Chain A
Amino acid sequence: DIQMTQSPASLSASLGETVTIECRASEDIYNGLAWYQQKPGKSPQLLIYNANSLHTGVPSRFSGSGSGTQYSLKINSLQSEDVASYFCQQYYNYPLTFGSGTKLEIK
């Protein structure tokens, strides 16, 4: 199975700041990576697929990058509605596997 190591586990930032969340795969996943946002008590929502493709309706302050085994999600101009947990997920190979999540809070 492909292991996804996500960091940091938690993050506190001020409104308007830029934050970055990292995800490392245990082997090359050839951009087969998605990012999800999960607000408290809600189901996950797709943000990014193919490592850097923004899903329909997702604000442009979210962006994804990376290649090989290293990927990142960047959130520009942090807004209060961005308070959530964020998960990466590889789809290069089955079983599909997720990162352990990053909990983002506003400072």
Chain B
Amino acid sequence: QVQLKETGPDLVQLTQTLSITCTVSGFSLTTYNVHWVRQPPGKGLEWMGAMWNGGGTDYNSAFKSRLSISRDTSKSQVFLKMNSLQTDDTAKYFCARHHYYDGYSYFDYWGQGVMVTVSS
């Protein structure tokens, strides 16, 4: 069955770099896109960026040049890396499978998320 699982640190120091891995199973990264979405505690959802099935990427400009998404298809893994972390980057970070066809686009499977706290 389709599964996504995020692994990463619970705590990151201010100004340091966050690295999270999303390991997927039940589908191929060359068939489906995987996106990253984050959610600060008690708040809403924010789209961060995408790894397209063809290997390209897209980013929310809100993250400027801080964010990088990559993948290793042989390991079925998608990586998020974000530098210069600030306290308002404290959030739960989700990876989600993006389903796109006939103009319909939605996230049909999500990981359980990893809660990251940025500490000074």
Interface residues of A (CB under 8 A from B): 32, 34, 36, 42-46, 49-50, 53, 55, 87, 89, 91, 94-101
Contact = CB atoms under 8 A, between A and B. Distances in A.
A55 B99 CA distance: 12
Given A45-B110, A49-B105, 18 more contacts: A32-B105, A34-B105, A34-B106, A43-B113, A44-B94, A44-B107, A49-B104, A49-B106, A53-B104, A55-B106, A89-B45, A91-B105, A95-B47, A96-B35, A97-B47, A98-B45, A98-B46, A99-B44
Q: How large is the interface on B (under 10, 10 to 19, 20 to 34, 35 or more residues)?
A: 20 to 34
B88 interface: no
17 contacts: A36-B45, A36-B107, A42-B112, A43-B110, A43-B111, A43-B113, A45-B110, A49-B104, A49-B105, A53-B104, A87-B44, A89-B45, A94-B58, A95-B62, A98-B46, A100-B44, A101-B44
Interface of B is mostly: strand
A91 B107 CA distance: 10
9 tightest A-B CB contacts, nearest first: A43-B110, A91-B105, A96-B47, A49-B106, A98-B45, A95-B60, A34-B106, A100-B44, A101-B44
A49 B61 CA distance: 25
Contacts of B111: 43
A98 B40 CA distance: 13
